[in-house]
Amino acid sequence: MSAAKKQPDQPSRPGLSIVYVPLADLRPFAGNPRRATPDGLDRLRKSIKAFGFTAPILAWRSPAGLEIVAGHQRVEAARAAGLEVVPVVVLPFADAETAHAYNVADNRLAEVVADWDYAPLADLLTELDTGAFPTDVLGWTPEEMEKLMTWTPNTIDPKLAGEAQYDETTCPKCGYKFKT
Could you read off the pLDDT of 59-80 as tens digits, one per residue?
999 999 999 999 999 999 999 9
- The mean of the pLDDT values for the chain is 84
Helical (H) or strand (E) element with 127: helix 118-128
| Chain-centroid distance, C-alpha 12 | 22
What pLDDT does 89 receive?
Answer: 97
Instruction: Name residues whose C-beta falls within 8 Å of residue 60's C-beta, 6 or more positions apart in sequence.
Output: 66, 67, 69, 90, 91, 92, 93, 99
Angle of CA points 33, 60, 84, to nearest 5°: 85
Condensed to tens digits (0 to 9), the pLDDT of residues 115-146 reads 888 889 999 998 998 888 888 899 888 888 88
Q: Please give the CATH number for the structural domain made up of 15-113.
A: 3.90.1530.10
Where do the domains of the chain lie?
15-113, 115-180
> How far is Cα 49 from Cα 140, in angstroms, rounded to an integer?
15
What pLDDT does 30 receive?
Answer: 93
What pLDDT does 54 receive?
Answer: 94
